[in-house]
Structure 1
Amino acid sequence: MTQATGGTTGDSTDPVPDEEGYERGLGSRQIQMIAIGGAIGTGLFLGAGTAISKAGPSLLLSYAVAGVVIFVIMRALGELLTYRPVSGSFAEYAREFLGPFAGFATGWTYWLFWVVTGMAETTAAAVYVRFWAPDIPQWITALAFLLLLYAANLISVKLFGEIEFWFSMVKVTAILGMILIGVGVLTLGFSDAGDTASITHLWQDGGFFPKGIGATVMTLQIVMFAYLGVELVGVTAGESENPEKTLPRAINTLPLRIALFYIGALLIILSLVPWTEFQPGVSPFVAAFGKIGIPAAAGIINFVVLTAALSSCNSGMYSTGRMLRDLALRRQAPGRLTRLNSHRTPAAAITVSCLLMGAGVLLNYLVPERAFQYITSIATVCGLWTWGVILASQIRYRTAWKAGRLPAPTFRAPGGNWSRWLALAFLVLVAVLIAFDPDARISLYVFPGWAVALAVGYAVLSRRDPGAVHGDPHAHLHAGGGS
């Protein structure tokens, strides 16, 4: 029987006990909206401005190609999730199919990804609040948001799900509203931009590839950053009421979400205003709706972007807590982090993660102008690693079940292994592109240091506790996570 405050006893034949004691508090409605929210973030609302200025209308092609790759990754994840839905999904699959070091590295890397993302998003949220209250110090706002979301994540997974549901609802409603207004301007000609808005903007200002195909390819790393977080639905597996049904449904709707919220929204924006009028660092949505003449457009969009940032930070606290506790259950992190509170949330792991996110508050105090740039340097590379692990794990799993060594999945990814290999090659291409972008190159400087830290940590753990690094099925029993 699961213990609400610590380790679990679990069945001895099962490498991971039944969801490690978590409450199955996320329903279909919340899972669907978490999946939608994961596909809409500050990468779209703000990052698209820089990408448009670099590639023009051909950015649409970058989003479409990257969207296909993301769908391949998510279907591969869906196959793994229906095989074995567990809370530490990425690390568990890496451990099972790629080896103990891959599981160790993936768990810690995905944890780091959401820690730095949480830092970045609290920083972004504090910046957005200055739109209305420029006199409030940025670090105070960042700290306030961090504490509020921390408290919400401690209370229950249901509250996390509800908060994420309404955050996502704001983003979805805003995007749909923008699309409908844009269609109205294009077809009926109303508003200040009605006389000039036209779909011909997609090709008449220097063509569809105004800066060449090479410039379009270079935007792929910006686009992939915008898609970071779509895999979060996999972390919810251990707390979904019916993962065999809700998770495949959420994954199967991903192409529609990408087509509507990314490609559809940008298609409208680029038709309303010539791409030459968009500037890096400025939301293209604010610029476009400013041209339309909608009252308080900047304030409305700023509220939506603030919501997107808080949504991402909320998701970060949720996922870091689960991933860190999963590592502790495997004796790859301090045993005290296995503890659950009375609401069955990993309070100790969330607290440690939140304290580290607080380093972002310190950066907001010391260097508010550069904080966002500093703490997002590693996020994209961490995401690429996680996606690559998902693909490689699914390839190995498919080989195993076809050979009869493992049960076949109930939700099979379409296409053969060739589609997963192509997706892996695409991720390598994006990593290479990062090396050629001076604005993003810093992430490749940071990641080798992280890799060395992982290697040293794994070597030390191997000497002290060989059973932990090799995925001892009963590691959680010795984790010291009792009440």
Structure 2
Amino acid sequence: MTSTETASSQQPDEVPPEAPDGGMQRGMKNRHLQLIAIGGSIGTGLFLGSGKLISVSGPAIIFVYLVIGFFVFFIMRALGELLLSNLHYKTFGDIAKDMLGPWAGFFVSWNYWFSWVIACVADIVAITAYVQWFNPNVPAWVPALITAAVLTLLNLQPVKFFGETEFWFAIIKIVAILGLIVVGVILMATQFQSPDGTTASITNLWTHGGMFPMGISGFVLGFQMGIFSFIGVELVGTAAAETQNPRKTLPKAINSIVIRILIFYIGALAVIMAVTPWDEIAPDKSPFVATLATAGFGLAAVVIQLVVLTSAASSANSGLYSGTRMLFGLAKDGHAPSKFAMTDSRGVPKRSVFFTCVFLFAAIPLLFAGDGVIAAFTFVSSMCATLILFTWGSIVVSYIVYRKRYPERHASSGFKMPLSRIAPWLVLAFFVFIAGTLLYGDDTRPSILAAPVWFAILAVLWQLRKRRLIRDGRPLTGAIPTVPHPLDDE
């Protein structure tokens, strides 16, 4: 143990004592959280995966995103009310263990950590595709290796640095999408004709086979990878634990989800398919880049390509941050080795960072195992979508228990979940539907069939960990304080 690391004692696997905010620092400001909330909902699934989604669903993808966005909003409102009901909650794992039991905290936290490892691998795969757009001769392993190394260095910095980095990453993504929407509107207003004779018009949304050209089957298939596009929206819940004044900033960040979905998903994809008919969009390329290139804006297409590359890096950076914080929480609860609960003098859980980053290099062999970058991306993204359903489901189930167990907290909450009696059950029914769509698709079925194996492994690991904790006379999990949080007085 170095002099700059904090731990509770020299005994192995002993949980360090509670430090203010768990040893980490509340170094992020309101502007950081707001932009992280926006950036978290604009990820690789939108920039790269939407090409394939459009190819299987056509313009119906607009309705797919509307439906998913509708339910995501309720998930986030449930999470917001839970987090603000007790500011001692740091992660979804804290909520799950408090509402459902120690086993739930173990399952949710390790599952969320693993899902972000997979998501980061998907982002690295996407970055490789973007780099090869500039130069197809670049070996696939080179950008993957460089990206994994850079991400490791970024996450060894204090949380304030992370917040500032994501702030500017998010601004780049926002400006790029808004710019694309403006360009698309201008092209439609001037009835621009592409080199192949296609005229930019809003009517392209329904004149190429209708809004549902693939029928109900195509609409249903759109939900498979569509759900992956929204992974990361819950990151605002993790970041809130290191944010100043979460009672003011968190509600603002969550309530802005609706407008973000309408602009960045519905608006952007509608413009893309209006400028370039859906049946002319290549499934293995970013439609954002292809649209500008088709319209003759070669330089703009290059700029957008750089932006989507930055977006993938931003998504991976956010995922790595979230995963390391979850691992930190697991160690605090005794559900992971205590060395992962150590922080340096700047409040960075660097051992959690190093351990998590090791798995990022799995992207390198994955690039050579399948039929190409898009095939690799589809596999890891569908696996991640399967795991995130469990995380989101834990939030909703925890909310149902919270509302029954603490009716007084719900009654006094200043940020109640709308339709709190029926919405959680509707969301859970929607998750069952999503699981069905994943089983329905040939390329996504393996991921959901593999999920029970992962949870069986977690069950075995939990029993082993539980026996050790009992043998050592330690609690099955860390306690959640019920006394007022210092920030409640602000």
In the superposition, the TM-score normalised over structure 1's length comes to: 0.91
- 1:40-439 to structure 2, matched below 5 A, reads 40-86=42-88, 88-190=90-192, 192=194, 196-364=199-367, 369=372, 371-402=376-407, 404=408, 408-439=412-443
One-letter identity of the residue aligned with 1:36? I
User: Aligned residue for 1:479?
Assistant: none
* Contact 1:378–1:444 (8 Å) recurs in 2: yes
TM superposition shift of 1:218: 2.2
TM superposition shift of 1:340: 0.2
Local SS of the residue matching 2:236: helix
User: Aligned residue for 2:477?
Assistant: 471
Tell which deviates more after alignment, 262-271 or 360-369: 360-369
1:125-177 Cα distance to aligned partner (Å, 9 max, x none): 12311223444322222121222221121121111111111111111111000
Local SS of the residue matching 2:202: coil
Tell which deviates more after alignment, 273-282 or 417-426: 273-282
TM superposition shift of 1:310: 0.3
Local SS of the residue matching 1:312: helix
* Contact 2:320–2:357 (8 Å) recurs in 1: yes
Distance 1:126 1:432, change over 3 A: same
TM superposition shift of 1:401: 2.5
One-letter identity of the residue aligned with 1:310? A
* Contact 2:275–2:291 (8 Å) recurs in 1: yes
Distance 1:79 1:26, change over 3 A: same
Tell which deviates more after alignment, 105-114 or 119-128: 119-128
One-letter identity of the residue aligned with 2:45? G
* Contact 1:110–1:383 (8 Å) recurs in 2: yes
TM superposition shift of 1:405: 7.3
Identical amino acids, percent of aligned pairs:
41
One-letter identity of the residue aligned with 2:387? C
1:245-295 Cα distance to aligned partner (Å, 9 max, x none): 111110010000000000011111121122211232222222222222112
One-letter identity of the residue aligned with 1:81? L
1:21-51 Cα distance to aligned partner (Å, 9 max, x none): 2111111111111110111111111211111
One-letter identity of the residue aligned with 1:177? G
TM superposition shift of 1:230: 0.3
* Contact 1:191–1:293 (8 Å) recurs in 2: no
Alpha-carbon distance between aligned partners in 2 of 1:223 and 1:44, rounded to the nearest angstrom: 8
Which of 24, 27, 30 is matched with 2:29 structurally?
A: 27
The two structures, once aligned, show a CA RMSD in angstroms of: 2.4
User: Aligned residue for 2:5?
Assistant: 5
* Contact 2:240–2:246 (8 Å) recurs in 1: yes
1:96-145 Cα distance to aligned partner (Å, 9 max, x none): 11122111100000000111111221222123112234443222221212
In the superposition, the TM-score normalised over structure 2's length comes to: 0.90
Alpha-carbon distance between aligned partners in 2 of 1:286 and 1:424, rounded to the nearest angstrom: 36
1:384-432 Cα distance to aligned partner (Å, 9 max, x none): 1111111111111122221x47883331111132011101110111011
One-letter identity of the residue aligned with 2:311? A
Distance 1:474 1:67, change over 3 A: closer
Alpha-carbon distance between aligned partners in 2 of 1:406 and 1:436, rounded to the nearest angstrom: 38
Alpha-carbon distance between aligned partners in 2 of 1:372 and 1:285, rounded to the nearest angstrom: 17
* Contact 1:83–1:410 (8 Å) recurs in 2: no
Q: What residue ranges of structure 2 are gaps of 5+ in the alignment?
A: 10-16, 482-490
Alpha-carbon distance between aligned partners in 1 of 2:99 and 2:302, rounded to the nearest angstrom: 48
Alpha-carbon distance between aligned partners in 1 of 2:217 and 2:184, rounded to the nearest angstrom: 30
* Contact 1:461–1:469 (8 Å) recurs in 2: no
